[in-house]
Structure 1
C-alpha cells in the first residue's frame, strides 16, 4: 500500500471548477486535524487553486504542486495537475471545459485507486450536464464508480452522526420507480446495507428500518399493494435469517416522529423519499457514501451551487465530514479485514 508514514493518501476530485467545489475543499482542508490523519491530494490544476486562494482571500491555505502521486508530501496539501492547461475559470458559469476537467480528475483518481496509489476518494460536486456527451451518459458518481470498479450493485448511502439512509432506486425517473421495486432489488440493497454497517461502521447487529413505497405504507392495500406483495415478504425473509429488519413504515410519520433515532439505518424506496428528510435533518454535515464497492468513496451531500460560487459564502461542513468519513471508514475496513 502506497502510504506516507502510515497515513492514507486520500484523493479529492475537484468536480466543477466553476461551482463551489474548490472553495469548500480549500476551506475544509484548513482544519489541521485532517493533515494529521491523512495525506490529501487534490486532482485539479494549480492555477485553479491559486485563482480561488486569491479570490476568496484564503491566505493561510498553502499547497504543493506535484506531477505524480509518488511526489505527495505527507505534511502538506498536494495538488496534482490532471490536465496540461487550466481552463478559464468563470465562477457560476457552466462550461464544457469545466466538465472535461471534472471528468479528467475523476478518471485519473479512479486509475490511482485501482493501482493502490491512493487509499480512498472524496468527490467534490460536479455538474452532470457539462459532462454528458454523445459518447458518455453520465448519470451520477454512484453509477459511474459502480461500473468503473466492476461491482454488480452498490448502495447510495447517506450518512451523518445519527442518521444513515440508503435507497433502493437512485437516479431514475420517478415514473420508473414502481417497476424497480422488486423483491430481488430490495434484497440486494439490504444485503449491501447490512454488510456495510458491519464492515464499514463496526455495527455487529444492526437494526434497519424499511420504508413503504406508497403513502401510509399502502394503508393495508387501500393505497397500493407493493407493501403487502413485495416489501413485507422480504422483511420476513431477513427476520427469519436472524436479521433485525423492520417495517415497512410510512415515510412521513417515521421521520416526523424521529423514529430514525431507534435504528442504525433506514432503507428508502426511492431517491427523494430518503434524501429529502436526510438533507433536511443533516444538510450541514451530511455525507454521500457509496457502499458495496471495493474502494472507499465519499462526497459532500450538496451540488455545485453556481448561484453562490466565488462569493466566499459556501459552508465547508459537509466536505469536511466527507473527508473525515472517508478516513473513518477506511480505518474501520482495515480493522475488519485484519480480524478476518
Structure 2
C-alpha cells in the first residue's frame, strides 16, 4: 500500500514508520520538526526507523512541512501523483497537557486546524481510510473506571484534551458527509524506546541514574494505564490493515450507511488502545528504581492543573474489531526502555 503517515519523526510515528516499511509499504512521511524537543532526537528517530537494514520492500519519502498550512497539500498531491494513497495515519500533534495550558492557541492550530486540513485532503483525493491519534485525556475526570468508548467526553479539563475531542467530532462530520472511514485511536500513556525526553519514565530514569531529585506532583497515588510502544503500534497497524481490507464504507442513495457489512470496520469509531491495567505514580517510581538500580530522590510538589487522578482503558472494543491484545508488562516495558536509553549514551 501507499500510506501517508504524519508525525513520522516522533516517538510513536517513527516506530509506526519502521513497522510499515518492514511490512513492505511505501510511505510518505510528514513532520514539521516542532522545536518542543531537540530536532536531533527526531532525526535520530528517523535514522533508526528508516535507515539501512530496517526496511522490507517499502520506500520512504519525507516531507518537512506544517499541516496547518494550505501549501503543504499541493506538495503532498505531487508526491502521491504516481500512486494513489490507500490510507492516512495521522499521528502529528502538539502533545502534552501542561504545555497546552501555556499555549492553547498553538495547540488549536497544530491539532484541530491541521486535522481539518488533512480531512479536506482526504475528501478531495478520495482517500477513504483515515486513522488518527486521539487521547485518553478526552475522558477528563471520570471516576467510572475502566473507561469505555461509551463514556461521556464533553468535560475535557485541558486545552490539549479539548483539541482531541474536537478532532473526534470533525472526524464524525467527514465520515458522515463524505463516506470516509474515520477511526480515532485513544492512546493511553505510551512509553518505551524513543519516548520524548519530557515524559515521566524517560525523565525519571535519567534523573534517578544521575542521583538528582525527581519532581513528583501530588502524593504518588495518581494512576496511569501505561502502554508499551510495541503494543500501540501493533494496534495501529491492525486497525489500518482491517480498515483497508474492509474497503470503502458502504453508502446508499449517496448517504453513508450507519451499519456496515458484517466483518467490516465501522464507518466511524473511537477506540481505546491501552494496557487495561493501572500503575500508581509511586509504583512507577519503584519500578524505575529497581530497573536502574538506584533509589530516587523525591522532590514533592503540588498537583498540576489539567492532570487527571487516574486513567484506565477498557480495550474490549479494540479486541473485538481487530484483535488487539496488549502483551508487555510494565516492568518488561521499563526494562526495554532502559536498555535503549543506555545504548544512546548521555545524549538527552
TM over 0.5: no
TM-score bracket, shorter-length normalisation = 0.3 to 0.5
